Structures are given as structure tokens and as C-alpha cells.
């Protein structure tokens, strides 16, 4: 079952019953009649195919399923931040925010454009703030729209996690983890983690999105990704994310096998005579590379190609005397085949920490917690 099939009002009264301990208290809190609350709860239990409460003459007692699901629902409702929002409005706005236009949102969801227009318009009126602005044929989100879209995505993520946990309690195979993979992680550590994890948890769907830290951090904040794996940032990107170190990586200087410096002693000044291919400014690797020359009192050499793609860097190195700084793991095949070579030993001070980045306050499902544990164990074995 998908989260968008649930009714936010039914979820609200369910959470209130668990929190307050009775239908009457929940009805008063939601400004509903007791029959309406009872009907909403029955509908929710029917959808979930699980008993949320044990009924007895003295009242109702939350089941283990309810006690586990309620915190997810409470967190989702906090992200929604309004009792006036309906699930139809929420999902319509998320689709429009993701697609950038009513046309794209209609194609992605199958909903008619007039229905999407109406849902977003009504949502804006309910919340009392404009959420979108027209720009040519497309739409842009206002500042309030950006905050609302992020909250709605996080709400859907909490509900999806809650539904997966309910299925787990019922003994049904279910689970999903979405990972953002930065360049270094793709070479060795992430394949090793995923291989071990998949053997232990074959029922879990693993979705991997590749990109730089800059490309992946916002999807993480939006809840579209659960974890990032790659070089950690110093300082931490913000209070809304938390970083967990896995191991230290030691980049080296790399050039083609026949490079003039490949088999000869050299100084930092000699390295500066060559052109370099390095990642973008602000990345940990670029910062370490620049510091190598600054420490030696030498002007930072020219960077004719700024690039984070190992595949592209490899091709450029093979056809030029350019140099780069990478982890040996990222070009292990080329080094073993004698196509590329390390230029001298490990430069002083070139150490970066590889680890996991998650949202602050994120509560992983048991399957996701197992992935984190596997990442820590695998990193310890391969570092």
C-alpha cells in the first residue's frame, strides 16, 4: 500500500487515540463526533489490514502495531503542519513541485490538469500563502512553497517507513532504502556493502542515485534519499544533517603510466609545472589538493578541466600529461593494468573521511538500520 492512499484525518484521529488513550478524548481534540472517529479508525484498520486496538469493556488498548505506527504518523503530521490539508492536496502539490508544471505533474500522476490546479489553489488558500508562481510555461515554488513541498515529502517518507514496519510485523517481505552515492563510494565500499546486505536482506529494494554532494544533499533533506555515502564535509553542511564516519581515505597523485614524473623523484614545484584535472572548488579533495601547494609556498597550478567523473578523468589522463588526485580504489583496474601510475607516495595531509550522511532526527526502519550496521561492518573490513 502506498502512503497517498491514506486519509490524513483518519491518521490524525488514530494518533490522537494512541496519545490520549480514548476515542472520546480524540474526538474532542479533533472536534469530531465519536461515531465519526470510530468510522475513521475502522476505515484505517481495513486499509492497513491490521488491528490497531484491542477492544474490551473498559475501552481500547493500542496493539504493538499501533504503538509502532503512531510515532511515524505523529512525525508525518508535524511535517504536514496543518489539519486542513488533505492527502489529495498533498500529493498533487508534491507532484507539481517535482514536475515543475501542471503538464508534467499530470503525466506523472495520471490526474487531470484541472484537478491539479484546483488542489494546489485550494491548498494555497487553506494555508494562507502563495505556493507557486508562473514563469513562462512553467512554475516555480515560492519560498513558502519550497518549505511546504519539503515538509510534504518528509511526511510521505515517514508514512512509507511506517507502512513498511507494519508489513514487517505481519511477516510480509517489504522494505526500501534510497542511497545517494558520491564518486569515491561507487568504486569499492558501496558495492561491497550492497552485496553483503543484499545477501542478508534480499527482500529490501535498494535504490542508488549517483551524484556529487551538491547534487545529493537537497534530495536527502527532502526525504527522497535516506542516506548519502561519500566524503564527509567539514564543517557539517547544517544542523539538519548528521555525519557518521566510516573510514579514512588516502588520495594519491595519478598520471598516465608513461608520465614524465611516473618513475622519477620529484618536488611539489615540479608537480606545479603540469596541468591538473580535479574536482570542483569546495569539495574535500579540491581543498586538500590546493593545500598541498599552499603548504609548499607554491602557486596553485592551472586547472584546465574541473571534473568529478572518474571515467572522464581516466580518459583524459591516458591521452595527456595532466595529473589528478584520486583514491587508488577509484582507478584500481587501470593501475593494475599498467595504464595509469601513482606519481610518488602519498602526499602529506591528503586524508579525507568517508562516511554516511543522514537527516537529523531521521529514524531508520529496522531494514535501514541493518544497512547502516552493514556499512559500518564492511567499511571496517575493507579500510
pLDDT by residue (tens digit) across 210-236? 999 999 999 999 999 999 999 999 899
Which CATH superfamily does the domain covering 251-350 fall into?
A: Periplasmic binding protein-like II (3.40.190.10)
Cα-Cα-Cα-Cα dihedral sign, residues 25, 28, 32, 35: positive
**What was the pLDDT predicted at 346?**
72
Domains 175-248+354-382 and 251-350 share a fold: yes
Q: DSSP state, 3?
A: G
Question: What does each C-alpha distance from 258 to 53, 277, 281, 321, 368 come to in angstroms?
Answer: 73, 17, 29, 9, 46
Asked whether 26 and 13 are in contact (CB, 8 A), the reply is: yes
CATH of domain 175-248+354-382: 3.40.190.10
Find, among 185, 229, 174, the residue nearest to 372 by Cα: 229
CA distances in angstroms from 94 to 88, 106, 237, 363, listed in the order given: 10, 12, 25, 22
The DSSP line for 286-346 is HHHHHHHHHHTT-PPPP-SEE---HHHHHHHHHTSS-BEEE-GGGGHHHHHTTSEEE-SSP
For the entire predicted model, the pTM comes to 0.87
Instruction: Verify cis geometry, omega within 30 degrees of 0, for the bond prior to 235.
Output: yes
* pLDDT under 50: residue ranges of the chain: none
pLDDT of residue 382: 63
**CATH assignment of 87-141, given 3.50.50.60, 1.10.3720.10, 3.30.70.940, 1.10.10.10?**
1.10.10.10
Residue 336 to residue 334: CA distance in whole angstroms: 5
Q: Where are the domains of the chain?
A: 87-141, 175-248+354-382, 251-350
**The Cα angle at residue 17 between residues 12 and 19, in degrees rounded to 5:** 90
Amino acid at each position: 500500500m502506498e502512503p497517498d492512499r491514506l486519509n490524513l484525518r483518519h491518521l490524525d484521529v488514530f494518533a490522537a487515540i494512541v496519545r490520549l488513550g480514548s476515542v472520546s478524548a480524540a474526538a474532542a481534540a479533533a472536534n469530531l463526533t465519536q461515531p465519526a472517529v470510530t468510522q475513521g479508525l475502522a476505515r484505517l484498520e481495513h486499509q492497513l489490514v491490521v488491528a490497531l486496538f484491542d477492544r474490551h469493556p473498559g475501552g481500547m488498548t493500542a496493539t504493538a502495531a499501533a504503538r509502532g505506527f503512531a510515532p511515524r504518523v505523529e512525525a508525518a503530521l508535524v511535517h504536514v503542519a496543518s489539519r486542513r490539508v488533505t492527502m489529495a492536496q498533498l500529493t498533487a502539490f508534491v507532484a507539481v513541485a517535482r514536475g515543475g508544471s501542471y503538464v508534467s505533474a499530470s503525466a506523472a500522476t495520471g490526474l487531470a490538469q484541472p484537478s491539479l490546479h484546483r488542489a494546489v489553489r485550494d491548498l494555497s488558500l487553506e494555508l494562507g500563502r502563495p505556493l507557486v508562481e508562473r514563469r513562462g510555461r512553467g512554475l516555480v515554488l515560492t519560498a513558502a512553497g519550497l518549505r511546504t513541498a519539503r515538509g510534504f515529502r518528509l511526511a510521505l517518507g515517514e508514512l512509507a517507513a511506517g507502512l513498511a514496519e507494519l508489513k514487517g510485523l505481519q511477516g510480509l517481505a517489504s522494505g526500501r532504502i534510497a542511497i545517494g552515492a558520491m564518486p569515491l563510494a561507487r568504486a569499492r565500499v558501496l558495492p561491497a556493502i550492497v552485496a553483503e546486505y543484499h545477501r542478508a536482506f534480499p527482500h529490501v529494494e535498494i535504490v542508488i542515485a549517483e551524484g556529487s554532494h551538491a547534487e545529493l544533499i537537497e534530495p536527502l533533506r527532502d526525504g527522497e534519499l535516506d542516506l548519502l555515502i561519500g566524503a564527509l564535509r567539514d564543517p557539517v553542511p547544517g544542523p539538519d544533517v548528521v555525519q557518521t564516519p566510516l573510514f579514512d581515505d588516502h588520495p594519491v597523485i595519478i598520471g598516465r603510466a608513461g608520465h614524465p614524473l611516473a618513475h622519477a623523484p620529484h618536488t611539489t614545484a615540479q608537480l606545479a609545472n603540469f596541468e591538473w584535472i580535479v574536482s570542483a572548488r569546495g569539495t574535500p579533495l579540491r581543498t586538500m589538493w590546493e593545500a598541498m601547494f599552499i603548504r609548499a609556498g607554491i602557486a596553485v597550478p592551472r586547472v584546465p578541466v574541473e571534473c568529478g567523473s572518474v571515467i572522464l578523468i581516466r580518459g583524459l589522463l591516458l591521452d595527456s600529461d595532466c595529473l589528478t588526485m584520486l583514491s587508488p580504489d577509484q582507478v584500481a583496474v587501470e593501475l593494475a593494468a599498467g595504464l595509469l601510475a601513482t606519481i610518488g607516495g602519498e602526499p602529506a595531509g591528503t586524508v579525507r573521511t568517508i562516511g554516511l550522511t543522514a537527516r537529523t532526527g531521521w529514524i531508520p526502519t529496522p531494514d535501514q538500520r541493518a544497512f547502516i550496521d552493514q556499512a559500518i561492518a564492511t567499511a571496517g573490513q575493507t579500510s
